[in-house]
């Protein structure tokens, strides 16, 4: 009997050199994390859907693989490590010896429409820092992220920095006149200059330069937060010369914190502090991302500072990340 070697859409098998490269990079990253005191968390690949119901946006809900098992339980395949880790730790957080440094690795599954090159199974490696003082947790997570990023030895590395809620005030002020805040968010994320221009000079400056010329237009506490981010960038840039560190608030326009905006914008928006994304070579998809997400824990009834990041090993090893012009 002839057996087909084809696989379902969006998944891939790694054989021979592909598997060797993948494991080699993974091992280097894991060794670095363990050397720095991070402990591994091994998490299940399926879980009940129920604990995540309130955490899901319309987008992340549509990406879930869910099914009813033989006992009639509604289950979901793992689509993200961080919420799973948070829901397992939140009930016990007060009894744990903080701070905690954890890392994880494994596959996540997210449904994506069928299109050339679009994957549905991703291999992630990530880490979380829980219970450290807020600013310190953010800096610690970013430093670890940058350190791991450079071991991938990819082409031109750019890490874009921002913070959740940076543009909330501008978005709220400018919505109306036929455009909802979510339309502005889409326009900012896609750098649609005509919409940004319509909303005023400050948003066009953010689209062009990443930041407004006059930070005070962001309002407080965002303006002070931008100053702190600039100082962080200045501190870290000499330490990571092979990484181009940029501040770009438009990149994170969909990471809102205002409750009225959160309800309207359906993204996986659990960040509430520093956010960052890394691009390697010419790939459009970030090879890694992270940030601070205390809000995720507080929504689960635990008050703790939390910051973390994850890398997509597949994207770090993709040919696009090696293109350097």
Partner 1 sequence: MIRLALPKGRNLSTALKAFEAADWPLDSLEKGDRRLRIPFPEIDAEALLLKDWDVPLYVEYGIADVGVVGSDVLEEVGGDVLVPARFTEGRSRMSLIGKGGLPKPGQQVRLASKFPNIARAVVATKPWSAEILKLWGSVELGPLLDLSEVALDIVQTGRTLKDNNLLELEAVREVAPILIVNRAAYQNHRQALNGLLRRMEAAGVVE
Locus of tokens 């509604």: 74
Smallest distance, partner 1 to C-beta of residue 281, A:
7
Number of Cβ atoms within 10 Å of the Cβ of 94: 10
Closer residue to partner 1 in complex, CB, 83/162: 162
Q: How many residues bind partner 1 (CB under 8 A)?
A: 28
36 binds partner 1 (CB under 8 A): no
Beta carbon nearer to partner 1, 15 or 116: 116
Options 104, 123, 279, 297; binder of partner 1; rule CB under 8 A: 279
Cα separation, 119 vs 108, whole angstroms: 11
Which of 52, 145 has the CB closer to partner 1?
Answer: 145
* Segment near partner 1 (CB under 8 A); pick from 120-128, 144-152, 185-193, 255-263: 185-193
Pairing state between β 274-280 and 74-77: unpaired
Q: How far is the CB of 319 from partner 1 (least distance, A)?
A: 9
CB neighbourhood size of 139 (10 A) = 18
Q: Which residues in 213-272 contact partner 1 (CB under 8 A)?
A: 244, 246, 248
Closest separation in Å from C-beta 145 to partner 1: 17
Which of 8, 37, 72, 117 is close enough to bind partner 1 by CB under 8 A? 117
Q: What are phi and psi of 214, to 5 degrees?
A: -115, 100
Contact 206, 249 (CB under 8 A): yes
Per DSSP, helices labelled H in the chain are 17-35, 58-63, 81-89, 134-151, 168-174, 181-189, 193-198, 201-209, 222-236, 259-264, 294-298, 313-316
Find the radius of gyration of the CA atoms of the chain.
Answer: 20
Find the part of the chain contacting partner 1 (CB under 8 A) among 9-17, 108-116, 119-127, 177-185: 108-116
When the beta carbons of 3 and 116 are compared against partner 1, the nearer one is 116
Check binding of 282 to partner 1 (CB under 8 A).
yes
Distance CA 232, CA 226 (A): 10
Which of 13-21, 139-147, 280-288, 300-308 is the region at the interface with partner 1 (rule: CB under 8 A)? 280-288
Of 5 and 284, which CB lies nearer to partner 1 in the complex structure? 284
Site for partner 1 contains 116 (CB under 8 A): yes
**96 contacts: CB under 8 Å, gap ≥ 6:** 89, 130, 131
Q: Does 28 bind partner 1 (CB under 8 A)?
A: no
If 0-12 CB within 10 Å is exposed, 13-18 middle and 19+ buried, where does residue 71 land?
A: exposed
How far is it, in rounded angstroms, from Cα 171 to Cα 250?
A: 11
Per CB under 8 A, 288 contacts partner 1 = no
Helix (H, G, I), strand (E, B) or coil at 229: helix
Contact status, residue 321 vs residue 283, Cβ threshold 8 Å: yes
Which residues of the shown chain bind partner 1 in the complex (CB under 8 A)?
113, 115-117, 156, 158, 160, 190-194, 207-209, 244, 246, 248, 279-285, 320, 323, 325
């Amino acid at each position: 009997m002839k057996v087909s070697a084809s696989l379902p859409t969006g998944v891939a098998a790694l054989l021979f050199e592909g598997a060797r490269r993948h494991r080699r990079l993974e091992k280097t990253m894991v060794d670095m994390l363990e050397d720095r005191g991070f402990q591994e968390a091994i998490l299940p690949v399926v879980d009940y859907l129920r604990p995540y119901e309130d955490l899901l946006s319309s987008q992340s809900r549509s990406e879930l693989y869910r099914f009813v098992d033989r006992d009639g339980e509604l289950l979901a395949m793992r689509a993200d490590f961080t919420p799973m880790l948070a829901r397992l730790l939140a009930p016990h957080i007060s009894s744990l010896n903080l701070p905690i440094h954890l890392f994880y690795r494994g596959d996540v599954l997210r449904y994506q429409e069928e299109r050339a090159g679009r994957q549905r199974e991703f291999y992630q490696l990530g880490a979380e820092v829980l219970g450290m003082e807020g600013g310190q947790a953010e800096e610690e997570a970013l430093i670890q992220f940058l350190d791991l990023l450079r071991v991938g030895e990819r082409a031109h590395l750019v890490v874009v920095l921002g913070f959740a809620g940076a543009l909330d005030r501008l978005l709220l002020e400018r919505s109306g006149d036929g455009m909802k805040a979510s339309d502005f968010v889409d326009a900012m994320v896609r750098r649609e200059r005509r919409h940004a221009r319509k909303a005023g000079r400050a948003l066009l400056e953010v689209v062009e330069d990443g930041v407004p010329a006059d930070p005070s237009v962001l309002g407080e506490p965002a303006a002070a937060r931008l100053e702190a981010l600039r100082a962080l960038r200045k501190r870290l840039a000499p330490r990571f010369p092979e990484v181009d560190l940029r501040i770009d608030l438009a990149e994170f326009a969909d990471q809102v914190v205002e409750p009225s905006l959160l309800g309207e914008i359906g993204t996986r928006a659990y960040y509430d502090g520093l956010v960052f994304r890394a691009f390697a070579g010419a790939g459009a998809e970030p090879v890694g991302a992270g940030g601070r997400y205390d809000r995720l824990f507080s929504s689960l009834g635990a008050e703790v500072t939390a910051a973390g990041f994850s890398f997509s090993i597949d994207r770090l090893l993709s040919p696009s990340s090696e293109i350097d012009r």
